[in-house]
C-alpha cells in the first residue's frame, strides 16, 4: 500500500475519510501549535490592506482563511482543494463565517486550469508531505506559473524534529497515540497512522526548498519550534 501513498486518488480518498474530524485532529497532532504555525508562516507575506489576489492551495476545511484575512484583510481569496469531503466543510465555513466571499475551486493543483501570472500570493499549510519529489517539482512549476512577477509564496508542513529525544517522543505520539484517537473518532486508526508515515518520509522542507529553487523561484527554508514544522517561502523574480 505504501508504495502508492502519493497516488492522487489515494491521497484524495484518505482526506475524504478524515474530513469529519481532521481540523480537530490537526490541532491535537501538533499539540495546538498548528494555529500558531498558520500565522507564523504567513509572516513572509507582505502585510497590506490592498485588494491583493491570494490563493490557498490544498485549503482543506479552510483552516488558513482566518490567518490570511487577519494579515490581508481586503484580499480576494481563492481556495483550492480536490477533496470532496474537505470542501464540504470548507463551503459551510465560507457561508457561515466569511459571507460566501471566498472563491472555492475543486481542482488538483497538479492538473489545474488556474490563470498564469495572476496571483499576488500563493500559500499552503500542511500539504507538502503528500507529494513525492516529482510531484513537488510540478507543484513548484505551477506556483511559479500562477504567481505574478514579484509575487510571494509560503508553504508550511509538520516535520520530523532534528533533536533525537524530541524526534522519538514526537514519533511515538504521532505513530502510536494519534491512531488510537483516530480509532475513537473514526473507528479506524489507519487513516491517522498515515499522517506519521507521510511525516517520517517527508522529514522536513529542505528537499522542497531545493526543488523550488531549481524551478527558478527565489526560495528560503524556514524551521519552526525545533524542527517540528518547516516550510519554504520566497518570491517569483
- CATH code of the domain containing 229: 3.40.50.150
Strands 218-224 vs 229-235: parallel, antiparallel or unpaired: antiparallel
Res 7: pLDDT: 96
pLDDT, residue 166, reads 66
The DSSP line for 113-180 is -PPTT-EEEEEEES-GGG--HHHHHHHHHHHHHHEEEEEEEEEEEE---SSHHHHHHHHHIIIIIHHH
Residues of the chain with pLDDT under 50: 1
pLDDT value for 169: 65
| pLDDT number for residue 225 | 83
Q: Which domain holds residue 204?
A: 2-235
pTM for the full model? 0.90
Computed on alpha carbons and rounded to an integer, the radius of gyration of the chain in Å comes to 17
Give the pLDDT confidence score for residue 1 in this predicted structure. Answer: 45
Task: Identify which of 115, 58, 68, 52 has the alpha carbon closest to the alpha carbon of residue 90.
Answer: 58
User: Number of structural domains, the chain?
Assistant: 1
Residue 170: per-residue pLDDT: 67
Amino acid at each position: 500500500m505504501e508504495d502508492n501513498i502519493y497516488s492522487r486518488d489515494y491521497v484524495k480518498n484518505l482526506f475524504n475519510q478524515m474530513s469529519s474530524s481532521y481540523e480537530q485532529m490537526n490541532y491535537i497532532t501538533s499539540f495546538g501549535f498548528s494555529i500558531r504555525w498558520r500565522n507564523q508562516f504567513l509572516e513572509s507575506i507582505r502585510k497590506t490592506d490592498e485588494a491583493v489576489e491570494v490563493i490557498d492551495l490544498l485549503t482543506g476545511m479552510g483552516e488558513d482563511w482566518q490567518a490570511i484575512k487577519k494579515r490581508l484583510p481586503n484580499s480576494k481569496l481563492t481556495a483550492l482543494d480536490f477533496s470532496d469531503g474537505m470542501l464540504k466543510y470548507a463551503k459551510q465555513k465560507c457561508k457561515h463565517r466569511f459571507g460566501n466571499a471566498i472563491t472555492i475551486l475543486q481542482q488538483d493543483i497538479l492538473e489545474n486550469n488556474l490563470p498564469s501570472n495572476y496571483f499576488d500570493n500563493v500559500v499552503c499549510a500542511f500539504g507538502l508531505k503528500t507529494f513525492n519529489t516529482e510531484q513537488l517539482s510540478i507543484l513548484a512549476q505551477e506556483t511559479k506559473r500562477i504567481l505574478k512577477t514579484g509575487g510571494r509564496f509560503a508553504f508550511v508542513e509538520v516535520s520530523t524534529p532534528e533533536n533525537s529525544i524530541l524526534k522519538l517522543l514526537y514519533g511515538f505520539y504521532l505513530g502510536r497515540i494519534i491512531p488510537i484517537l483516530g480509532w475513537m473518532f473514526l473507528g479506524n486508526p489507519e487513516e491517522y497512522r498515515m499522517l506519521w508515515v507521510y511525516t517520517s518520509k517527508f522529514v522536513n522542507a529542505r528537499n522542497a526548498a531545493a526543488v523550488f529553487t531549481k524551478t527558478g523561484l527565489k526560495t528560503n527554508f524556514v524551521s519552526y519550534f525545533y524542527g517540528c514544522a518547516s516550510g519554504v517561502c520566497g518570491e517569483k523574480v
